[in-house]
Copies of this chain bind each other. A is one copy, B any other.
Amino acid sequence: MARLPLYLRALTGLAERGVATVSSEELAASAGVNSAKLRKDLSYLGSYGTRGVGYEVDFLRHQISREIGLTQDWSVVIVGIGNLGHALANYGGFASRGFRIAALVDADPKRAGEEVAGLQVRHADELEDLIQQLRISIGVVATPARAAQTVCDRLVAAGVTSILNFAPAIVQVRDGVDLRKVDLSTELQILAYHEQRKNGAALALTAEQAAELAEAVNG
């Protein structure tokens, strides 16, 4: 269930503020969802609430963590150590949530040996060995679009069954492999679509106008 991480984060926030008990109404509000939906979601995990009272924050947190599988560590390899790969490697939110960035890999031999986020960047040739030795189960693809399919194929062949793809490419994997996609320009395009319908494109610019404004402001 894709909303569990959301609830978990809301619960963590409550726990940090010392809240011990929370109602479905309150928790739903801080997660930004409907309270009935939240109750139905939680009911699939079991009856962890108390009628007339609510949910115990710490207990529920633990149950959700266990359900998601965060009571174990997962080893992750990041493939492609460009700007985005750097950002991902340095992103603090992973380690604190049960994900261990175990290896960084790049196809550029000049990058191999470079240290990023306390790890040595390895050359792409070593990908299969690293996956096996470090028992990596999750691959993060931050390569250019043209390399994405090949990288995914190699990850799958080496035994990885979960991939998070940041490359702006449509990648096919065999059944049984989970592939999630994060596409930055798609997200912006969806925003632009709504934006256009909102204000009648009042804020849309021609390329020339935009360049002029940039010149004027940025010098």
Contacts and interface: CB of A to CB of B under 8 A. Distances in A.
A97 B188 CA distance: 9
Interface string A94-120: 100111101100000000000000011
Q: How large, as a class, is the contact surface on chain A?
A: 35 or more
Contacts of A135: 203, 205, 213
Interface stretch (A34-42, A47-55, A71-79): A71-79
A105 B185 CA distance: 20
A12 B133 CA distance: 39
A164 B176 contact: no
A17 interface: no
Contacts of A188: 74, 76, 94, 97, 99, 138, 140, 164
Given A97-B188, A205-B135, A210-B75, A170 B10 contact: yes
A67 interface: yes
A192 to B, nearest CB: 4
Given A97-B185, A190-B180, A119 B218 contact: yes
A150 interface: no
Interface in A175-192: 176, 178, 180, 182-192
Interface of A: 1-2, 4-6, 8-10, 13, 30-32, 67-70, 72-76, 82-84, 86-88, 90-91, 93-94, 97-100, 102-103, 119-120, 130, 133-138, 140, 161-164, 168-170, 172, 176, 178, 180, 182-196, 198-199, 201, 203-207, 209-210, 213-214, 216-218
29 contacts: A2-B186, A2-B190, A5-B189, A5-B190, A8-B189, A9-B169, A9-B186, A32-B170, A68-B196, A69-B193, A69-B204, A70-B189, A73-B204, A73-B206, A74-B195, A75-B205, A75-B210, A86-B86, A87-B87, A103-B217, A103-B218, A135-B203, A135-B205, A136-B203, A161-B198, A162-B192, A178-B195, A180-B191, A182-B184
